Amino acid sequence: MTAVWSVDRKKFIDNAKQVKANQNLMAVVKNNAYNYGLEFSVKAFQEAGINTFSTTSLKEAVRIRKIAPEATIFLMNAVYDFETVRENEIHMTLPSLAYYYEHKEDLEGVHVHLEFENLLHRSGLRSLDEFKEVLKDHEQNKSDKKMIISGIWTHFGYADEFDVPEYEIEKEAWLNIVHSLLEEGYKFELIHAQNSAAFYRENQQLLPEHTHGRVGIALYGSRPYSKLSEKQIQQSLTVKGNVIQVRDVQKGEYCGYSFAYEVEQNHTKLAVVDVGYGDGVLRTRAKHEATINGKRYPIKALMMSHMFVAVDDSVTAEDEVILYNEDMRIDEYTFKGVGANSEQLSALNHDSLIKEIR
Ligand SMILES: Cc1ncc(COP(=O)(O)O)c(C=O)c1O
């Protein structure tokens, strides 16, 4: 008996199609495709009709090129290994004016997307004037060692926030840049800004003039915000362990390390389960329940390779213990404060869990 991480491949692809809703999407496959596996995800997204991918790591971008020779690949972090970027025909962000002036020759033949820093302030040009400065300098540059300006993009840092006006502010600032540049006659092959939340906030439509949504978490089956119904985004992932044994513990006894759980009643049945934080279950997740034989029971303590679940007489050794599945979704716990969807996904340990694609 070993705990299992498994994905229903058909369901994963069906969800990607439902999320895509016939729009052009750039699938965000960073961090090993949100820990679903780069190769699995890229191929599954291709089956769902997506052939544009983005990541933050050059190493992953090169791997994507091998998996998907014809795909458009966008690297969201600027790097300095220009040769590898060029050889693999990877599109890359232009992260600042200073980077442009320092590396405009190194970028010969590289497709760049000019980035707007917007309210996130993580990377990018600071203003419309900086966009125009790069575009004009590029136009006037008669050198044959030139980059290729293929796109413009930004990232909304507040798309997941509903109680503050920042999303509308950053959206307006960005649309102003897009419209101003297009009005001046500049043309871009790719224009992209929306993450999952921003895509759903526009009812799965692209913002005006945009060519792609740059979507991650929804493609992996989690809702970016709780106002969306579960039907709109389907989880194909199951994480489950097994009951190793059920122990009878008495009032006042402490179970687990360092007084983790004090038993409140005599003859409490405690299932010892073969999954723990070493497998990537977040500590905050252990404040909630696990499902055994279709019923939810409270988790009482989390250890590295085990957890205790308070059960009733119907639970016996070898019963399956569900931590996540279509009825016990990662996003349900995100909305209960366990941590971001991607935080739980990233933590799951594929070296200790058995990995199954069904
Ligand atoms: C720049 C950028 N674009 C898009 C995404 C995708 O966001 P989400 O997973 O919320 O769709 C991310 C994720 O962090 C990101 O950093």
Domain boundaries, the chain: 9-228, 237-325
Contact call for residues 240 and 3 (beta carbons, < 8 A):
yes
Question: Tokens for 211?
Answer: 């060519």
pLDDT of residue 144: 86
Which residue's C-alpha comes closest to atom 14 of ligand 1?
216
Please indicate whether residue 95, judged by its CB atom, sits closer than 6 Å to ligand 1: no
SS3 annotation, 255-294: ECHHHCEECCCCCEEEEEECCCHHHCCCHHHHHCEEEECC
> 237-325: same fold as 9-228?
no
CATH 3.40.710.10 matches 9-228: no
How far is ligand 1, taken at its centre, from the CA of residue 346, in Å?
A: 14
Q: What is residue 1's predicted lDDT score, i.e. its pLDDT?
A: 81
Q: How far is the CA of 195 from the centre of ligand 1 (A)?
A: 5
Angle at 48 between CA 52 and CA 328, to 5 degrees: 110
Which contacts (CB < 8 Å, 24+ apart) does range 110-113 have? 110/82, 110/85, 110/86, 110/147, 110/148, 111/147, 111/148, 111/150, 111/151, 112/147, 112/148, 112/149, 112/150, 112/151, 113/74, 113/149, 113/150, 113/151, 113/152, 113/153, 113/188, 113/190, 113/192
Question: Is-contact 74 111, C-beta < 8 A?
Answer: no
189: number of Cβ within 10 Å: 14
pLDDT at 140: 96
Nearest-angstrom CA–CA distance, 91 and 85 = 8
pLDDT at 318: 98
* 158 belongs to the catalytic site: no
> Coil, strand or helix: which one is 184?
coil
For residue 272, the model assigns a pLDDT of 98
Catalytic residue among 101, 257, 295, 336: 257
Topology (CATH) of 237-325: Lyase, Ornithine Decarboxylase; Chain A, domain 1 (2.40.37)
pLDDT of residue 145: 86
Which residue ranges of the chain lie beneath pLDDT 70?
Answer: none
